[in-house]
Amino acid sequence: MALSRQHKLIIISLVFYWATLFILAHIPIPQLVRKADVSDKGLHLLAYMILSFLLASAINPYKKVNWRKATVWWVLLVIVWYGVIDEVLQGYVAGRSSDIKDFVADLAGAFTGAIFLSLFTFWAAFLVVTGVTIFGLTNIALANLADLLPGINTAFHLFAYALFTLLWIRYLDPRYQILDTRRASSIEHRASNSEIFWIRRRWLIVASIPPVGFLLLVKLGSLVLGRSFAITDVIVSAVGIVAVVATVCLTQNLKLKT
């Protein structure tokens, strides 16, 4: 049976991510990472959460994880064995060592990814995993990343919040049925221009508020955890959110005119 485009993208993402994860885990830790004082256990948890999510989704992207079936347990078994091999191999890398605590964090991350897929369908789980990853990476370092890695920090805030917003819109669309103004117009039986304007305006509000609220929640978490951040991070993140919402709106307007 031919794979859908969504399924192919998940598989490609899994292969690329797993290969990248393996390479990064088996090179000496960069000095900048040491200076940033990053939580090693936090990185392990996030990395294996994403791996578990991608692997389970690659096997079956259309259904929630069912703990009564063997599939999810095979996924976790594969990840467990990979985690064991990963820790053993790290013992041979300069500046790294095998650590049982890292393995425990790997297990926690793997189960977290599977739990999200058992609670939510793919797009909702993708949104949650992305949100958790953004929150974790934002607050995982004790040092101010805006000072140590200004370019990477800016790119992260821009693209991370753009992705979160795009996923939110993808999750939102089939539930509220208001992304496509033409569809809304047919439902309203030839809605007037003013009615279509308000439909678009409602959609802008619905599409923008949750990502902005999430941004504020992440930065509030930074304050509570004693992490520093620059106001430019908030501005860049907001630009990413607005850029996605504006792009989707323009795209829909072009569809409406054709």
Contact 109, 52 (CB under 8 A): yes
In the numeric block, which tokens belong to residue 68?
A: 């009564």
| Three-class secondary structure of residue 250 per DSSP | helix
Instruction: Please report the sign of the dihedral spanned by the C-alpha atoms of residue 239, residue 242, residue 246, residue 248.
Output: positive
Given pLDDT bands bounded at 50, 70 and 90, which one contains residue 175? low
Helices 40-59 and 5-25 pack at an angle, to 10 degrees, of 150
* Whole-number average pLDDT of the chain: 84
| Nearest by Cα to 35 from 136, 143, 137, 140 | 143
Q: For 138-162, write each residue's pLDDT tens digit.
A: 998 877 776 777 888 899 999 999 9
In the numeric block, which tokens belong to residue 55?
A: 């692997």
Average pLDDT over residues 78-106: 88
Please give the model's pTM, rounded to 2 decimal places: 0.87
As to burial, measured by CB atoms within 10 angstroms (0-12 exposed, 13-18 middle, 19+ buried), residue 44 is buried
Average pLDDT over residues 81-109: 88
- Name the residue ranges covered by the structural domains of the chain: 1-143, 147-258
Instruction: Give strand pairing partners of 2.
Output: none
Q: For 28-69, write each residue's pLDDT tens digit.
A: 877 777 777 777 889 999 999 999 999 999 998 888 999 999
